[in-house]
Amino acid sequence: MNSRRSKKSAAARLRPFWILFAVLLAGALFAGYYGATWPGFRVRLVIIRGNRVVSRSEILARAAISGATNIWLQDPWAMRERIQTIPYVGQVRVERKLPAEVLISVTERMPYALVGKTAPVLVDRALRVLETHPKNARVPLFEVDAGIVRAGAFLRRPQILAMRDDYGVLLAAHARIRTLRVDSMGELTAWMASGVAVRLGDDEALLQKVRLIEPILAQTQSRGKVIRVLDLRAPKTPVVVYR
């Protein structure tokens, strides 16, 4: 009997707090509803930084920020993913700031090369297609079949990947390349901006071959001679063909 009375007494002591809990819960629900619908949290300002090629209007269109919805109820990660579908956009950061501002920071991709034979596309270092019909692009041409691609896609054909890596070796050696081509035998030829054709052959000892370009060109220029073809397929016995 004493135990039952004790239990009833405990319940009786808690009963007045139920009303308080109910009031607090109702207050929390009201505050949540008020915060979600309060006009002060609707987007008033969107700041965009880092864009030069991509227009502000295109970024805003892809972000799809609702001006009629509380900014704190909108997903910044979804905005980021939508903006990254723009071909020229690399990294994106979306920040929400009190009371109702959005800061979008983008890093744009840089043109690296043209890839293709009849209708080359413009790509960045990661081989993402930036433009399918580029105009006045001052970058080297990788003369290799790219297939049918759309802007925003990544080129993943092994021959294109290998050519990108070969060009990286040439670029590191400060060789000014205009065109790269691989023939049916898998041998690489690079045409320099000066018009000299450099036959490099396969990728074996490529760095060693590339390091010979500048000294040989400098030596022949000092003699007043103009090279038409520089054959480095056998780096120990380079062959020079003059104009």
In this predicted model, what pLDDT tens digit does every residue of 202-211 receive, in sequence order?
Answer: 988 999 999 9
Instruction: For residues 150 and 206, state if they share a domain.
Output: yes
Instruction: For residues 119 and 160, state if they share a domain.
Output: yes
In this predicted model, what pLDDT tens digit does every residue of 134-174 receive, in sequence order?
Answer: 998 999 999 999 988 999 999 999 999 999 999 999 999 99
Q: Which domain holds residue 183?
A: 113-242
pTM, 2 dp: 0.81
Instruction: For residues 119 and 231, state if they share a domain.
Output: yes
Q: How many CB atoms lie within 10 A of CB 152?
A: 15
**Cα–Cα distance list, 213 to 149, 195, 240 (Å):** 34, 13, 11
CA 196 to chain centre: 33
Of 53, 76, 108, which one is at a domain's C-terminal end? 108
Q: How many CB atoms lie within 10 A of CB 187?
A: 14
Band (pLDDT 50/70/90 cuts) for residue 39 is: low
- Exposed, middle or buried: residue 186 (CB in 10 Å: 0-12, 13-18, 19+)? exposed
* Neighbouring residues of 206: CB distance < 8 A, sequence distance ≥ 6: 166, 169, 200
**Which CATH number does the domain housing residue 209 bear?**
3.40.50.11690
In this predicted model, what pLDDT tens digit does every residue of 13-37 receive, in sequence order?
Answer: 656 655 656 555 555 555 455 455 5
Q: In this structure, are residues 80 and 62 in contact, taking their beta carbons and an 8 Å threshold?
A: no
Instruction: For residues 234 and 183, state if they share a domain.
Output: yes
* Residue in 138, 182, 191 with CA at minimum distance from that of residue 160: 182
Question: Any bridge partners for residue 181, and if so which?
Answer: 143, 189
Of 79, 108, 137, which one is at a domain's C-terminal end? 108
pLDDT for res 27: 58
Instruction: For residues 204 and 159, state if they share a domain.
Output: yes
In this predicted model, what pLDDT tens digit does every residue of 165-194 receive, in sequence order?
Answer: 999 999 999 999 999 999 988 899 999 999
Instruction: For residues 64 and 26, state if they share a domain.
Output: no
Instruction: For residues 22 and 68, state if they share a domain.
Output: no
d(CA 164, CA 114): 11
**Which CATH number does the domain housing residue 45 bear?**
3.10.20.310
Instruction: For residues 122 and 206, state if they share a domain.
Output: yes
Question: Which amino acid would we find at residue 9?
Answer: S
d(CA 197, CA 227): 9
Instruction: For residues 122 and 195, state if they share a domain.
Output: yes
Instruction: For residues 121 and 207, state if they share a domain.
Output: yes
In this predicted model, what pLDDT tens digit does every residue of 56-75 receive, in sequence order?
Answer: 999 999 999 998 889 889 99
- The backbone torsions φ and ψ at residue 100, rounded to the nearest 5 degrees and listed phi first, read -155, 55
* Residue in 166, 170, 177 with CA at minimum distance from that of residue 203: 166
Instruction: For residues 104 and 121, state if they share a domain.
Output: no
Instruction: For residues 224 and 144, state if they share a domain.
Output: yes
Number of domains in the chain: 3
